[in-house]
Structure 1
Amino acid sequence: MDDKCCADFQAAVDEYLIRHRSVLDVLTKYQEATARVNRALAKAVTECGCVEIKAGRQSAPAEVQYSDLKNFVSSHVSGEPCEHCKEILTKELGRSLFYTAALCNIAGLSLHDVLRREHRNIATLGIFHLS
């Protein structure tokens, strides 16, 4: 996402977020949006069946380099969301991004700066960025 895209999106959120401007409203709507993303993926598995989840213990050779570990672990997801499920997931992820931008607005943060900083952390710290 470039700076203009983020700034335009964040400005649109600020302009059109009318009813839920309280930080408490935004926090709870953000949480609800995240739950809806989870629900959309769960329904792709349980109702549509276009995606399967086969979870089990992750295993890797004992002498594997940490940077190579991603080659041995699984997401536990097989299949790909069908067009209908992709549409729903896209809608719900968009709503989640809407409330992320709303939180940025309330906190006086730039969504682009947040994304750029996280990208810089990932690029700098590599595999250690989530420590």
Structure 2
Amino acid sequence: MKDIIFDDFQNSVSDSLLRHKSILDVLTKYSESGARVNRAIAKAVTNCGCININASKQSLPNEDDSIDELSNCLNTHISGELCENCREIIEREMGNNLFYLTSLCNDLDINLYDVLIKEHNKINTLGKFTFR
């Protein structure tokens, strides 16, 4: 069922993209949409203040500690929660980003669901040993 939702979304993107058909247009729109996601998050911090970013050097556990200890000592540096308005804006920008990612998939004849499944399988296979 989930693959049908992905395929339907991918087909809808293909049907609705009229103006920016060139791969160059899609690449630049995808890049711009990523920047808009970043900007919306920054605005949640600087304009609204519903979240704060308190960044500092991450403290790594001792070599003797387990891999589970690593996830316990690292954090996102985010405090607070997104307000309804900021959440809506960020979700909209992430949706636009997903739209252009899907459009790239269409242009390159790549199935978005297959990309998701391959990444999911890689994560499950490598587990916590996946460092990016």
TM-score interval w.r.t. the shorter chain? over 0.9
Aligned length: 131
Paired residue secondary structure (2:125): helix
Matches of 2:81 and 2:119 in 1, distance apart?
A: 27
What is the aligned partner in structure 2 of residue 92 from structure 1? Answer: 93
Paired residue secondary structure (1:96): helix
What is the aligned partner in structure 2 of residue 41 from structure 1? Answer: 41
Matches of 2:68 and 2:125 in 1, distance apart?
A: 14
Matches of 2:45 and 2:52 in 1, distance apart?
A: 5
Paired residue secondary structure (1:64): coil
What is the aligned partner in structure 2 of residue 22 from structure 1? Answer: 22
Q: What is the root-mean-square deviation in Å for CA atoms of aligned residues?
A: 1.3
Q: TM-score, normalised by structure 2?
A: 0.94
> Does residue 53 in structure 1 map to residue 53 in structure 2?
yes
Q: TM-score, normalised by structure 1?
A: 0.95
What is the aligned partner in structure 2 of residue 113 from structure 1? Answer: 114
Percentage of pairs with the same residue: 51
Matches of 1:129 and 1:76 in 2, distance apart?
A: 21
Q: How big is the shift at 1:68?
A: 2.6
Q: How big is the shift at 1:57?
A: 0.8
Q: How big is the shift at 1:40?
A: 0.3
Matches of 2:131 and 2:25 in 1, distance apart?
A: 29
Q: Which runs of 5 or more structure 1 residues have no equivalent in the other structure?
A: none
What is the aligned partner in structure 2 of residue 11 from structure 1? Answer: 11
